[in-house]
């Protein structure tokens, strides 16, 4: 069911376990209207992330949502994927139907530009390569607002200093941060505060094909987070960006300066967040600093159950 005033969004993603769940959360949220999906190379190669996006829509019975395959590599760097996190397919652990619909055969900058209109929120949950291409090739079509899952104030995940989405294409992230667009950063500091546990997975398993799919994804994702980080649950990073658009009261943000490191021996991809206003650099990002974890997880599970 869609509420009277729903916010139109476009998700730019690299599915990815949490990307898939973010897409499903958007489909299940009456406050949101998912207008389109663009895919980018990140967690896996572009062919795989694109097929995964199509498969998720197939499972959800929402093949009406157009999908465009975007950049197959970062702006300037070699692509780094994350098979250790998401498996060889990008969605290891779950069964999905083969896609029956093709992608929209269009340059991703044009695809996004044609769909951006006043009030639409662009929700990138992967490396920012496609968004950087949009800003460069179709500067007149800049969105009013971007809510990005990426970066962190404190620790990294792919390196000690950097979060994966920022690390894979820091030049793209730097371009987006410098664009002046109203930008929110949902980083590791808050996504790690809300852990999806085996209990959540069991709650969803058996509620239907979507619940079963999410539980199977969680089995794989939880195992990775347990073995790699000793966590008793897994962050569903990308879903928090979608949830923030649906319910802005879940996440607390701080409007401050963020810069992206692109030329460092150890810290490439670091999002340098001026958490305590230590500089006079102008504020340019709403950085997530806290989340109501219980309410986020409750929203996530109840919405997924409803599909
Ligand atoms: C981000 O990296 C990817 O592995 C996830 O999909 C998420 O977007 C977390 O660092
Ligand atoms: Ca992602």
What one-character-per-residue DSSP string does 214-283 give?
Answer: HHHHHHHHHHHHHHHH--SSEE-HHHHHHHHHH-TTSEEEEEE-EEE--S-SS-TT-EEE-TT--S-PPP
Atom of ligand 1 nearest to the CA of 126: 8
Closest Cα partner for 216 from 206, 226, 227? 206
Query: How many domains is the chain built from?
Result: 1
Give yes or no for residue 3 having a pLDDT over 80.
no
End-to-end CA, the chain: 10
The CATH number of whichever domain residue 157 belongs to comes to: 3.90.245.10
The answer to the question of residue 86 being in a domain is yes
pLDDT in tens, 133-184: 999 999 999 999 999 999 999 999 999 999 999 999 999 999 999 999 999 9
For residue 272, with 0-12 CB atoms within 10 Å meaning exposed, 13-18 middle and 19 or more buried, which class applies?
Answer: middle
The answer to the question of residue 179 being in a domain is yes
Distance, CA 156 to ligand 2 centroid (Å)? 15
Share above pLDDT 70 across residues of the chain, in percent, rounded to a whole number? 99
Closest Cα partner for 16 from 82, 85, 90? 90
Q: What are phi and psi of 186, to 5 degrees?
A: -100, 100
The answer to the question of residue 1 being in a domain is no
Atom of ligand 1 nearest to the CA of 14: 6
This prediction has a pTM of: 0.97
CA angle 83, 85, 91 (to 5 degrees): 75
DSSP designation for 103: P
The answer to the question of residue 2 being in a domain is no
Range of the domain at 11: 7-306
The pLDDT score that the predictor gives to residue 5 is 85
Q: What are phi and psi of 112, to 5 degrees?
A: -70, -45
Task: Identify the three-state secondary structure at position 158.
Answer: coil
Instruction: Please give the mean pLDDT across all residues of the chain.
Output: 97
Please work out whether the CB of residue 259 comes within 6 Å of at least one atom of ligand 1. no
Round to whole Å and give the CA distance between 137 and 289. 33
The answer to the question of residue 199 being in a domain is yes
Identify which ligand lies nearest to the alpha carbon of 155: 1
The answer to the question of residue 278 being in a domain is yes
The answer to the question of residue 154 being in a domain is yes
Distance, CA 93 to ligand 1 centroid (Å)? 17
The pLDDT score that the predictor gives to residue 78 is 98
Please work out whether the CB of residue 167 comes within 6 Å of at least one atom of ligand 1. no
The answer to the question of residue 205 being in a domain is yes
């Amino acid at each position: 069911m869609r509420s009277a005033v729903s916010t139109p969004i476009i998700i730019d993603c690299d599915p990815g376990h949490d990307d898939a769940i973010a897409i499903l959360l958007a489909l299940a949220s009456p406050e949101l209207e998912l207008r389109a999906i663009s895919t980018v190379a990140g967690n896996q190669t572009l062919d795989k992330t694109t097929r995964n996006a199509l498969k998720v829509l197939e499972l959800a019975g929402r093949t009406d949502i157009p999908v465009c395959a975007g950049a197959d590599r970062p702006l300037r760097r070699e692509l780094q994927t994350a098979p250790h996190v998401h498996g060889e397919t990008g969605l290891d652990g779950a069964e999905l139907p083969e896609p029956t619909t093709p992608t929209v055969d269009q340059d991703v900058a044009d695809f996004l530009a044609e769909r951006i209109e006043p009030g639409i929120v662009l929700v990138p949950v992967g490396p920012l390569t496609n968004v950087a291409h949009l800003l460069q090739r179709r500067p007149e079509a800049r969105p009013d607002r971007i809510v990005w899952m990426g970066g962190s104030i404190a620790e990294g995940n792919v390196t000690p200093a950097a979060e994966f989405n920022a690390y894979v294409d820091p030049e793209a992230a730097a371009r987006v941060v410098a664009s002046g667009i109203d930008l929110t950063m949902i980083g590791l500091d808050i996504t790690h505060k809300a852990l999806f546990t085996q209990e959540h997975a069991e709650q969803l398993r058996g509620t239907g094909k979507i619940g079963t799919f999410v539980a199977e994804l969680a089995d794989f994702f939880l195992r990775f987070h347990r073995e790699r980080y000793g966590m008793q649950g897994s962050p569903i990073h990308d879903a928090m960006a979608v949830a923030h658009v649906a319910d802005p009261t879940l996440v607390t943000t701080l409007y401050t300066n963020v810069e992206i490191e692109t030329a460092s021996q150890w810290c490439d991809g670091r999002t340098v967040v001026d958490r305590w206003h230590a500089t006079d650099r102008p504020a340019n990002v709403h950085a997530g600093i806290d989340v109501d974890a219980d309410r986020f997880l409750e929203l996530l599970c109840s919405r997924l159950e409803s599909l």
